[in-house]
Amino acid sequence: MSLARNTASACCAGALSVVLACQDSSRERDARDVERDARRDACVALTLPPACEPPLDVGTAEEVVRLIGALAESVEGPLSHAHGEALRPTRDLRFTAPVELEVAPFVQRERCPAATEEEDREAPVFPCTETWRFSSEKTTEWRNLVDPPLPSLPFPPGVACKSSDCSELTVAPGTVVRFQRGVELHGFTATYLHTVRVARPCTEPCGADELRCTTATTCIAESAFCLLCQGGSNAECACHTVCDATPEETDCSYARSDDLRMRGTCRAGACSPGQAPR
């Protein structure tokens, strides 16, 4: 009789532990669902069209340089992605006369100080270099030196490079554009590329594979929306397609540095390393 009672008690205890474990698991799933829904709602709110200011008329290089110079550079690298508000360009500028712009007024060497005599003698494999140029609008994430580069967008109509290195730019009268400033970091080769980017007007529709980021007011590729608009980490954004998380256990990868790509599996909305990096 005693053995029967002990057996029954053990069975009940076992059953109770299973029930409690199921309840804990259910609560965890509910919490994850709430977090996922909140994240999605916040993401959807970032795709609402921004309020665009009326264009500002400009007719001289000095006016444009002053407006561009007031912008901070957005930093782009493997571990640091400027996003949202930090990517906001100037307001729409309507050119009332032909204007020629030079990148020279924006040159300020900060990341490659002059080398000492001792450093010159060491002759590094990749000497630190900084370059400045104009470029077309960028809607995608930072790319490392291992992955193939993404195609760049053309300049808007009325805008053209005047020199082969695009250190000079011409803008035709009647053109309406915006400007951004950015710097791409490539630590492996000690290369820093400073760009003054020519962006589409605020009122121009985005492309089929782009979304308008409300805080940045610019168009961003869907593949980069998580990084450049929401400000998610590399690991999180490797497991998100715009506003939705990819299914659990989906293979994922993301650039960790110029020469390293992490590979893993999506778990709880982030890429969990599961394979050796290459």
Q: Kindly report the CA angle at 130 between 71 and 159, in degrees rounded to 5?
A: 55
DSSP E strands, the chain: 56-58, 74-76, 93-95, 99-102, 129-136, 159-161, 168-171, 176-186, 191-199, 210-212, 219-221, 240-241, 244-245, 251-257, 260-267, 270-275
The pLDDT of residue 32 is: 62
Identify the segments of the chain with pLDDT beneath 50. 1, 3, 8, 10, 117, 121, 276-278
The pLDDT of residue 276 is: 43
The pLDDT of residue 267 is: 92
The pLDDT of residue 274 is: 73
The pLDDT of residue 198 is: 97
pTM: 0.79
Alpha carbons 99 and 96: distance in angstroms, whole number: 9
The pLDDT of residue 98 is: 98
% the chain with pLDDT above 90: 53
The pLDDT of residue 71 is: 95
Q: What are the extents of the domains in the chain?
A: 56-111+124-230
